[in-house]
Amino acid sequence: MGISNIPMPKGARTSPKRVGRGVGSGMDKTSGRGHKGAKARSGPGVYPGFEGGQMPLLRRIPKRGFNNRAFAEKYSIINVGKLADLFKSGQEITPELLLEKGLVKKRTKVKLLGNGEIGIALKIKVHKASSSAIEKVKQAGGEIEIIK
């Protein structure tokens, strides 16, 4: 078996399409774009969901119900295991300190979850905490304060 017999992936040996290089290339004149219309022009074509002037599906179907997404409170999530790695015993942890250390990306409310192990006593101030997180922190000798 020679190197020439090794199966190549599809399109591995094909050169890119060279449009506008004369009649003999087969990619002359309209360069494979057909005749006229938005798809023949440069720049963005039609928007996603465009159905050729027919009323798009997204506008045909009825919209019902209430969506609370705009009013939902957004929390940044921190796990107990992360805190044990980055902080010393007895240190007070606040959302501002978490933002400073880069554990929280934006200035949002912080929720503490109980994933991981914590072996040091920490004083933690967060907006919300899961029951498992509270239990793990108290077992380690620390305390959690819920900020309003």
- pLDDT band at residue 20 using 50, 70 and 90 as cut-offs: confident
pLDDT-derived band at 39, boundaries 50, 70, 90 = confident
**Residue 137: which residues within 8 A CB-CB, separation 6 or more?**
80, 112, 118, 122, 124, 129, 143, 144
75-146 placed in CATH 3.100.10.10:
yes
Q: In this structure, which amino acid lies at residue 35?
A: H
The per-residue pLDDT for 26 is: 86
Q: To which residue do tokens 């074509």 refer?
A: 45
- Report residue 95's pLDDT band, with 50, 70 and 90 as the boundaries: very high
pLDDT at res. 99? 93
What is the CB-side half-sphere exposure of residue 66 using CA atoms within 13 A? 3
CB-CB contact of 80 with 136 (8 Å): yes
Domain boundaries, the chain: 75-146
